[in-house]
Amino acid sequence: MSASDDLLVEAGRLAVELGQPDPPTLLDVRWRLVGAPGREDYAAGHLPGAVFVDLDTALCGPPGPAGRHPLPDAAALQAALRAAGVRAGRPLVVYDGGDGMAAARAWWTLRWAGHRPVRLLHGGFPAWLAAGLPVSTEVPTPQPGDVEVRPGALPVLDAAQAARLAAADDGVLLDVRAAPRYRGETEPIDPVAGHVPGAVNLPAGEYVAEGRFPAAEALRERFAAAGVGEGRPVGAYCGSGVTAAQAVFALHLAGRPDAALYVGSWSNWVADPARPVATGATPAG
């Protein structure tokens, strides 16, 4: 079995699995940074049997100095997952509106919480529609799950660890935001523009397009060009830890399950005015 088989599922294959006696649990995690809530999209139509789980309130903690999408409280996350019918050891599939970011953060959170059998629907809801597969507006009432949240199954960086990784000669910290934000030319969300000194810019659009990932070898080549070498520690950050979770997902596809997520990301970094900020096109600014 390839890494992608363990991480991704295509719409047609998922349809087959959903028709089997013990189908995977489905979570709809559609989300937008701005605009209408994902719950409205879910109400308009979703995969049959899917349960909506809110990224902001169920899969992340409340915003604050730890970032706009910090780690969730373990007990609160467990309660939310059990309410959604997530059962220990049972296969789970997450999907979003197509860009793969919210689904990747949901995937990361579930695996960080110790639930390994979780995959991402490749291409999200649009891929399901494009395959001509059925959509439902019925809201299921899942049987309560029994999943146990055990935090720490995936590596996490805090601000100090991110700074050390960015400064290390044998490691790389990837900033996956758009280049103008990295360079400090614009910052539409957070109060300070720029990047973590030493971080390397690799915008998300360079390794994923419209929520679809290239083959593992192509991913390895792209990450290698950004300085991600075999055996070199690697971490990723973005604005608030959502797009960076997608980078960690892509690194898993490329054979780097050790990739760490700076969950607080830039929104946490700039919460402390004592932390240095670099600007310009190079890691050092």
Answer whether residue 170 is part of any domain: yes
Which residues in 145-217 belong to E strands, given as ranges?
A: 156-157, 172-175, 200-201
Kindly state the greatest CA–CA separation across the chain.
56
Confidence (pLDDT) at 1: 47
By the 8 A CB rule, do 204 and 176 touch?
A: yes
Residue 199 and residue 247 in one domain? yes
Answer whether residue 86 is part of any domain: yes
By the 8 A CB rule, do 98 and 211 touch?
A: yes
Residue 23 and residue 125 in one domain? yes
Confidence (pLDDT) at 99: 95
Residue 111 and residue 201 in one domain? no
Residue 160 and residue 259 in one domain? yes
Band of residue 34 on the pLDDT scale cut at 50, 70, 90: confident
Answer whether residue 151 is part of any domain: no
107: CATH: 3.40.250.10
CB-count exposure of residue 140 (10 Å: 0-12, 13-18, 19+): middle
Residue 118 and residue 195 in one domain? no
How many domains would you assign to the chain? 2
Q: Kindly report, residue by residue over 251-284, the tens digit of the pLDDT.
A: 999 999 999 999 999 999 999 999 999 999 999 9
Query: Which residues does the annotation mark as catalytic?
Result: 238
Residue 36 and residue 115 in one domain? yes
Confidence (pLDDT) at 3: 64
Tokens describing residue 142: 């899942």
Residue 89 and residue 194 in one domain? no
Confidence (pLDDT) at 77: 98
Residue 195 and residue 113 in one domain? no
Answer whether residue 277 is part of any domain: no
Residue ending a domain, among 96, 130, 164, is: 130
Answer whether residue 141 is part of any domain: no
> What value does the mean pLDDT take over residues 17-29?
96
Mean pLDDT of the chain: 96
Coil/strand/helix, residue 129: helix
Residue 125 and residue 165 in one domain? no
Residue 232 and residue 160 in one domain? yes
- Flag whether pLDDT at 2 surpasses 60: no
Answer whether residue 146 is part of any domain: no
Q: What is the share, in percent, of the chain residues with pLDDT greater than 70?
A: 98
Q: Kindly report, residue by residue over 154-209, the tens digit of the pLDDT.
A: 999 999 999 999 999 999 999 999 999 999 999 999 999 999 999 999 999 999 99
Residue 182 and residue 111 in one domain? no
Sign of the Cα torsion 100, 257, 74, 143 reads: positive
Residue ending a domain, among 112, 130, 148, is: 130
Band of residue 231 on the pLDDT scale cut at 50, 70, 90: confident
Tokens describing residue 21: 């006696």
Answer whether residue 162 is part of any domain: yes
Q: What is the share, in percent, of the chain residues with pLDDT greater than 90?
A: 94
Range of the structural domain that residue 172 is part of: 156-269
- Flag whether pLDDT at 5 surpasses 80: no
Residue 32 and residue 119 in one domain? yes
Answer whether residue 179 is part of any domain: yes
Looking at this protein, which amino acid is placed at residue 119? R
